[in-house]
Every structure is written in C-alpha cells, then in structure tokens.
Structure 1
Amino acid sequence: MKAESWIIVSIAIFCALVAPIYWVITYDWTGTTALVMTTLLCVLLGFYLIVVARQIPARPEDRLDGEIIDGAGELGFFPPYSWWPLYCSLAFTAIVLGIVIGWWLFIIGAALGLFTLIGWIFEYYRGVHAH
C-alpha cells in the first residue's frame, strides 16, 4: 500500500502547486476551488493509506521477494445478488420527494427507509445466504 499512498500524495502535491498558479493566470473561482478540493481529498486519502500501510503487515505485492503463491488463499466474503439496495434507494427517493411534496410522504419514506436499511444490514443473518 505504500506505492498507492505515495501516488495519491504526489497528486496532492501537484494539485497544491497548480492551484495558486491557476488562480493567478485565470482568476477562475470554479477551477481553483476544484483544485483545492482535489488537493484536500488526496491529502485525506493519502493520510489514510499511509496509516493503514503502517498497521498491516507487508503484502506479497509490496515485497521484493514476494511470490505469486504468497497471495493465495481466501480473499474475503463477496456477497451475491441483493434486492435491498434497490429498496433502500426507492425509500430514499420517497424521503427526498417528501421534502418537496409534503411531510406525510417524508414520514412514509423514513419508515420504509428504516425497514429497508434493517433488512439490508441483517440480510446475511437469515435465509439462503446466512452465515
């Protein structure tokens, strides 16, 4: 992860250097703001990657003596298909439309949103894909 973190930090440094130059040349608020926000995002992501890289042991990809077989094994749990994200997005749509149309729809959307969020969270605790 050290290589990834240094790539992101390099992008942050580049954007930090380009932002004031861009402002002096163009006096454009939009582009300068975008460059500053990109710098801040890259600093945040780079800091996170550096902290995580120090906490985990060296990955086979990061070691010079790493072999392909060192990366073998289970990679993690990858969930199968799920309908709950669709239901959550529909409930969120009802919540947003409730703000525009009326509070009664907001309350219905919030109740449905709570139900669908609980269903999505506890999806793998029961049924076919329980573990």
Structure 2
Amino acid sequence: MKSETWIFAICTVFFVLVTPAYWFVTAGSDQGGDWTGTSALTMTALLTLMIALYLGFHAKKMDARPEDRKDAEIADGAGELGFFPPYSWWPLWCGATLGVMVLGIAASAWWMFIIGTALGAIALSGLVFEYYRGEHAH
C-alpha cells in the first residue's frame, strides 16, 4: 500500500498548490475570487490527504505486498486474491428505484417517491441477502 499512499500524497500536494493559484486566477471577478471552485479544490485536497494518511497508517501495520517490494517476482503475487461476486441483477434494480425516487422528488410527485421507496426496499433486500438463498447461497 506504499505506492497507493505516494499516489494520494502527490495528489494532495498538487491540490494544495493548485487551490491558491485558482483563487488568484479567478480574483479578477467582482467578488474577489471564485468561492465555489476554491472550496471544492480545498475539500478535494483534504480528502486526498485523508486517504493518504489512512493508507500510510495501514501500510506500516501490514506486511509488504509483492507490489511494494523491489526484489519481488511475478510468482509472488500468485494465489487466491479473494472473493469476487458473480453477476447480479440487483444493482440494476437498486439504481432504477433510486432513479424513480429522484424523479419523484424532482417532479414533486410524492406518490412516485413512495413507490420508488417501496420497490427500493425490496431491491436493497435482494442485494443484501443475495448470497443467503438461490444459486450462490453460502
């Protein structure tokens, strides 16, 4: 995870340098600078810093992965990598019901939001309990 830590640390430095530059470039406007873009860049810098710190703390506690070692061979990365779920239709239905809910709010059609919420609860239950029944049950 050391390589990922460095990537996010470099991104943090980039955003810390770009944010004041953006502020000064947009200072020609009547308001004295673009508050929206400057605050978005500031929050982006803080978020990348948070991720870099998290990965850095965990990299110290973990054994070095093959990607982090200079003397690693390709065969060192062989073996089981973890559990990867098979295909699933439930994320499609979760996204569709979220779309119905947002459309209901945007169109001020609360009945559509309520229908989307009910169908969303069913879709979310199907997604959560997918591995407890059916073909992929554990």
Cα distance between partner residues in 1 of 2:38 and 2:99: 33
> Which residue number in structure 1 is paired with residue 42 of structure 2?
36
- The one-character-per-residue Cα deviations of 1:45-72 (angstroms, maximum 9, x if unpaired) are 2122112212322101112232222211
> Which residue number in structure 2 is paired with residue 123 of structure 1?
130
Deviation at 1:31, TM superposition (A): 4.0
The letter of the residue matching 1:13 is V
Cα distance between partner residues in 1 of 2:62 and 2:137: 29
Q: Does 1:114 align with 2:104?
A: no
Q: Which runs of 5+ in 1 are unaligned?
A: none
Cα distance between partner residues in 2 of 1:108 and 1:35: 38
RMSD value over aligned CA atoms?
Answer: 1.8
> Which residue number in structure 1 is paired with residue 68 of structure 2?
62
The letter of the residue matching 2:74 is I
TM-score, with structure 2 as normaliser: 0.82
Of structures 1 and 2, the one scoring higher in RCO (CA 8 A, sep 6+) is 2
Runs (4+) of structure 1 exceeding 6 A deviation are none
Aligned residue for 2:68, secondary structure, equals: coil
Cα distance between partner residues in 1 of 2:81 and 2:126: 26
> Which residue number in structure 2 is paired with residue 71 of structure 1?
77
The letter of the residue matching 2:91 is P
TM-score, with structure 1 as normaliser: 0.86
How many residues are treated as equivalent by the alignment?
131
Aligned residue for 2:84, secondary structure, equals: coil
Q: Which runs of 5+ in 2 are unaligned?
A: 28-32
- The one-character-per-residue Cα deviations of 1:74-118 (angstroms, maximum 9, x if unpaired) are 111112211111111111122112223322222221111111001
Deviation at 1:124, TM superposition (A): 1.5
Which stretch of structure 1 is more off in the superposition, 19-28 or 111-120? Answer: 19-28
The letter of the residue matching 2:133 is R
